[in-house]
Amino acid sequence: METQARRGPFWEMVAGRMAPPPAAETLGWELLSIDPDQGTIEVAFQASERFVNPVGVIQGGFLAAMLDDTLGPALVATLPEGQFAPTLDLHVQFLRPARPGRLVGRGRVVRRGSQVCFMSGELLGPDGEPVAVATATAQIRATRQA
């Protein structure tokens, strides 16, 4: 994975020069592959036993967070240094229960405008079948310089 020409906090994290955000660490976020030119990403998460609800499946809020942490980086990886893209809207559909273990998120930028972007993705269970899908809207903004 070529990251030499890319700059910014996301790429610093990918290169191991910056720690991942605490939320990503909590979710067990791991980059599997990324193509910033295509706006696609594949990441893995470790769905902990700490994420289960009373019936023993992963609580939906954690699945939504995993999808947000899939779609957001798909877009952020396409941005030049000095920009970020907070999520404005995240719509998640839960397809079936997810159990603790490794889940894989696949995301893509569907359309990127100058200020507003649309993404979509899915979260796959260990059997490769989707457990949840999502669409999101984000707004490109300049980072504030101190």
pLDDT value at residue 9: 86
Q: Specify the pTM.
A: 0.92
CA dist., res. 140 & res. 120, Å (int) = 16
> In terms of Cα–Cα distance, which of 135, 129, 102, 90 is closest to 29?
102
pLDDT value at residue 5: 72
Reported CATH class of domain 23-142: alpha beta
The CA R_g of the chain, rounded to the nearest whole Å, is 15
CA angle in degrees (0–180, nearest 5) for 26-73-100: 35
Q: What is the DSSP string of 80-136?
A: PTTEE--EEEEEEEE-S---SEEEEEEEEEEEE-SSEEEEEEEEE-TTS-EEEEEEE
Counting as low any pLDDT under 70, the low residues of the chain are: 1-4, 145-146
pLDDT value at residue 145: 57
pLDDT value at residue 143: 84
Domain boundaries, the chain: 23-142
pLDDT value at residue 105: 98
For 54, residues 6+ apart whose C-beta sits below 8 A from its C-beta are: none
